Structure 1
Amino acid sequence: MASRRPPNRKAMIRDTAAELFLEHGYHNVSVTDVAGALDITASALYHHYRNKQDLLLHAVLAGLDTVAARIRAADNLDEALRGLAALVTGPRSVLAVWEREARNLDGTQRDAIREREAVVVSSFVPLLRAERPELGEPDAAFVARAVLGALGSRSRHRITLPRRRHEELLVRVGASVALCPVPQNDGAPANHHAPALGTGAVLRIPRREQLLTEAIRLFDERGYQSVTMADIGEAAGIVASGVYRHFPSKTDLLIAAVNRGGERVRAAAETALAQASDTREALELLLRAHVTVCMEQVHLIGILANERDQLPEKERTALRRVQADYLDVWVQALRAVLPGRDTPELKIMIHAVHGMIYFVVRSEGARHRTDLPERLTSLGLAVLLGDGVPHG
């Protein structure tokens, strides 16, 4: 007797694909791999999805819909934070596929993702404004993105606590972001981004530097495996053979980019700590330096976050060490201010701040705000020092 098709097969295919995309990377997974993991034929899979990109699109949309559903089910901000904290401490795929793999979609599909992201943010705004009526719509949307970025950081690390304790910590993190007062902008510079060197620049950028800059941008926007040496050459205005005169391979470009990223964050941290006069100032300067690097080097930070698995083993191990050392600097700085906290809790809080900054800086709606550096610094300090805001 033939076995009956499960009524939820389409969702099973989508969820299995999401797990495989996260484990191996989108480009390293085939439709046959997804079908094999479910013990079905590829033709059975094509009955539900047109191709691998269609699978990815629906995996991302499903994750966003799950987040929106948790928010809509809440009657107030506290319930929403608790629902999201419970969600992100569960299966890692809910938000990670959205953050890591959505760039592999085409233009029309990306538009669909942006529309669904807007739905998630807009569903959170009324709960925020009910708690904080002084916030206008743009500010409430900004804070909503910051909350989602802080809680979504869970998808980027493997640090765990007992489930209930972990959820409570994330609720406090989310509350700290959601209820952080808006800082006053006392004549701060309108834009902290580094000036771009392009048409009309006084100095001509060396060809090697130009190639590396374009490679960093393309690797971040499209994903390393989707970019060719010809793409990089075209972006820099030369033929592919010209790229090889400066970099023997695409891997060498990625290694150079990753090394540069590690140098930038390390140098920023060292400079910040050298300028501090006490432990509280050291933490704030470290946070400000991180915000500045993320704003000025948005593509470089994206590569550090998403392309580690594309490196050869030696360079991958070295990058892990750099990132672990950077996290340890933050742990020491935070422990100096909060001496009684466990290391796993400190790391989760730090990851939440980094995730929030990364997510907000990379969102088009927020990156052009003139008060962005001050807002992100205030939100980060609220998470690190406020330990959440009591919720009744």
Structure 2
Amino acid sequence: MASRRPPDRKALIRSAASDLFLRHGYHNVSVAEVTAALDLTPAALYHHYRTKRDLLLHAVLDGFDTVDAAIREAGDLDTALRSLAALVAGPKSLLSVWERESRNLEGSQRLTVLERRTGIVTGFAPLLRAERTELDAAGAELVARAVLGALGGQSRRSSVSRREDERLMVRLASAVARCPLPAAGPSPRPDRRPGDGAASGVRRPRRDRLLTEAIRLFDERGYQSVTVADIGEAAGIVASGVYRHFAGKTDMLVAAMNRGGEHLRTGADRALAHARDPREAVELLLGAHIDVTVKHRHLVGILIHESAQLPDRERVTLRRYQADYLDVWVQALGAARTDRDAVDLRTTVQSAHSMIHFAVRSEPALPGPALTERLAALGTALLLGE
């Protein structure tokens, strides 16, 4: 007897693809690998999804649907936080695919994702304002982004039980959700992308212009979707001229990663040198990290999302540096909060970094100084709050 097609085949395909995209990255997963995971033929997949990119779009939207449902079905803020924490503590993070893999979508698909993400934020904001009547619409949306960011970078920790994991996530999310915000300050003004210095009459060196555009394009589109010609065109330099400054695209990525690591290392060293006690060390580390993320959002983006594209030696070096950077934070927080264990400390630091990254990249309204001040308050509540 012929086997019957499962009624939820489309959902199974999306789930398998989502898991593979999250673990290996969109470009490193083939349609054959998705179908092999489900014992399907490629024709069966293409019956439901026209292309791999179409499958990615629906996998991302699936994650949105799950998060959106958790928020809509919650009657109050605490219920919403518990529901979101349960998603994070599940077998895979449904939130982390939003940014990293969405870059591989095309124009109209990206717009769909942006609209859905904005809808989730605006849907979460009323739950915040129902409890926190002092928040205006912009403040509530920033806090909503911060909560989602704090949870979005997390995944299941095998060293603790799922119940303990959820409790920790709820505690961190609640600290962010209930953090008093400083006033927004001056009226918002649109951010401008740094130019090449032409307006001042002085153009930056070609190597600098190339690296700046490479960093932006790698972050916006993903390393594998960018060509040397794309970078040269963005910098106003013919493709053959690019090779006078860089051996190739990989050379640019290595230079970018080194630059990003140096910015973070310099900020951390300065923070620790000026700290007078453990709490101030955490506050200064936080301020330095926010400053780098606000000023160099594309650079921080590729540090987070593109390390797998580095050659083996450089990737090992970067991961060692990232582990050392995280350890500095964990030690500083541990000295300030002696009541927390190692898992708690590490998770809290990772949550703070994720919150800052997501809020900076998705906050459309606040100018740099106002956003920096508010993120400092939110980060302090997450890291040092009771």
TM-score band (shorter)?
over 0.9
| 2:185/2:370 contact within 8 Å kept | no
Aligned residue number for residue 198 of structure 2: 199
C-alpha separation in 2, matches of 1:193 and 1:181? 29
Q: How far has the Cα of 1:92 moved from its partner?
A: 2.1
Question: Runs (4+) of structure 1 moved beyond 4 Å?
Answer: 184-187, 189-197
> Which amino acid in the other structure matches residue 281 of structure 2?
A
Match of 2:112 in 1: 112
SS at match of 1:365: coil
Matched residues in 2 for 1:191 and 1:182: separation?
21
Structure 2 partner of 1:13: 13
**1:132-175 C-alpha deviation (Å, 9 max, x unpaired):** 0111112111111110000112049x675321111111111111
Q: Which residue does 1:277 correspond to in 2?
A: 276
Paired residues in the alignment total: 386
Query: Structure 1 residues 257 and 121 mapped into 2: Cα distance closer, same or farther (>3 Å)?
Result: same
- The aligned counterpart of 1:83 is 83
CA-CA distance at 1:196 after TM superposition: 5.4
Cα offset, 1:39, TM superposition: 1.1
Task: Report deviation, 1:204.
Answer: 2.5
Name the aligned partner's letter for residue 169 of structure 2: L
**1:360 touches 1:366 (CA, 8 Å); kept in 2?**
no
Residue 290 of structure 1 and its aligned partner are, at CA, apart by: 0.4
CA distance in structure 2 between the partners assigned to 1:298 and 1:8 by the alignment = 40
Tell me if the contact between 1:193 and 1:295 (Cα under 8 Å) persists in the aligned partners.
no
Contact between 1:361 and 1:367, CA under 8 Å: does it hold in 2? no
Tell me by how many angstroms 1:93 deviates. Answer: 4.3
Corresponding residue number in structure 2 for 1:53: 53
Alignment correspondent of 2:322: 323
Aligned pair 1:69/2:69, yes or no?
yes
Contact preservation (8 Å) 1:125, 1:140: yes
* Aligned amino acid, residue 282 of structure 1: A
Aligned to 1:390: none
Q: Which residue of 2 aligns with 1:338?
A: 337
Instruction: List gaps (5 residues or longer) in structure 1.
Output: 388-392
Question: 1:340 Cα deviation (Å)?
Answer: 2.6
Deviations 1:42-95 (A, max 9, x none): 111011101001000000001011001011111111111000001111132411
Q: Is the 8 A contact 1:194 1:296 kept in 2?
A: no
Gaps of 5+ in 2: none
The one-character-per-residue Cα deviations of 1:80-113 (angstroms, maximum 9, x if unpaired) are 1000001111132411221210011111011111
Shift in alpha-carbon separation, 1:171–1:19, aligned structure 2, 3 A: same
Q: Is the 8 A contact 1:191 1:370 kept in 2?
A: no
* 2:175 aligned residue: 176
Contact 2:143 2:177 (8 Å CA) reproduced: yes
**Contact 2:93/2:154 (CA < 8 Å) preserved in 1?**
no
Q: What do residues 241-289 of structure 1 show as CA deviations (whole Å, max 9, x unaligned)?
A: 1111111121111111111111110011101111222222111111000
Percent of aligned positions that are identical: 61
8 A contact 1:88–1:155 mirrored in 2: yes
The Cα of 1:205 is off from its aligned counterpart by: 1.1
Measure, in 1, the Cα distance between the counterparts of 2:54 and 2:369: 37
**Aligned CA distance change for structure 1 residues 366 and 147 (closer, same or farther; 3 Å):** farther
Distance in 2 (CA, whole Å) between partners of 1:94 and 1:67 is: 8
**Structure-2 separation of matches of 1:81 and 1:7:** 32
